[in-house]
Amino acid sequence: MSTTVAQPAALTGTAAALRKLYFVRFAFAIVWALVMFTMAKEISPVAAVLLVVYPLFDVGAAVVDANASRDTRSPVLLYVNMAVSLVAAVGVGIAAASGIPAVLRVWGAWAIVSGLVQLIVAVPRRRMGGQWPMILSGGISVLAGASFVASAGADDPTLASAIGYAVPGGIFFLISALRLGRAAKEA
């Protein structure tokens, strides 16, 4: 049984733009995680910059998403996501000076709030197709964020869990991109 329905031109155009964006987000997440895994035990200046770049990339992706989605729905929640990610970038930059536990707390709070926003954005987009991975990703983000905050209190916290979080996130973007491509062909 297919979960996609016939799509008006605006939805098809939005789906095509989101598909491209999701492929880029997948590639970025995987490359970022591979580089960051080499720095998981301490926060070097390079690691601090990369930790700030990740939420800034999320801001850029939300801008592209908002522009692509104007014809199909209000981008207000995407603007919220942009603000949350911008605050996270600043927070992570400040937290990096305090150490890994502080970074994990900020990263966790960002994951929780972003996951909730992702859920609120993806659920209404179900009719476009390709959104179930985004819905699952949003739910996982909320749970992962809580675990990052909890792991900040561990005896020897590392960034490995926060970095590892980027990999499944990237995979969810890849799955969504592939599903959106299939939905566009069926439309």
Q: Kindly report, residue by residue over 122-162, the tens digit of the pLDDT.
A: 787 777 666 777 788 889 899 999 999 999 999 989 898 88
Higher pLDDT among residues 184 and 75, named by residue = 75
Q: Kindly report, residue by residue over 10-64, the tens digit of the pLDDT.
A: 557 788 888 999 999 999 999 999 999 998 888 999 999 999 999 999 999 999 9
pLDDT at 10: 54
Q: Residue length, the chain?
A: 187
Task: Examine the pLDDT at 116 and tell me if it is beyond 50.
Answer: yes
Joined tokens for residue 129 = 């197709």
Q: What pTM was computed for the model?
A: 0.82
Best CA proximity match to 177, nearest among 6, 28, 10, 47: 28
Q: Is the dihedral of CA 173, 175, 178, 180 positive or negative?
A: negative
Confidence of residue 69 (pLDDT cuts 50, 70, 90): confident
* Residue 142: Cβ within 10 Å count: 16
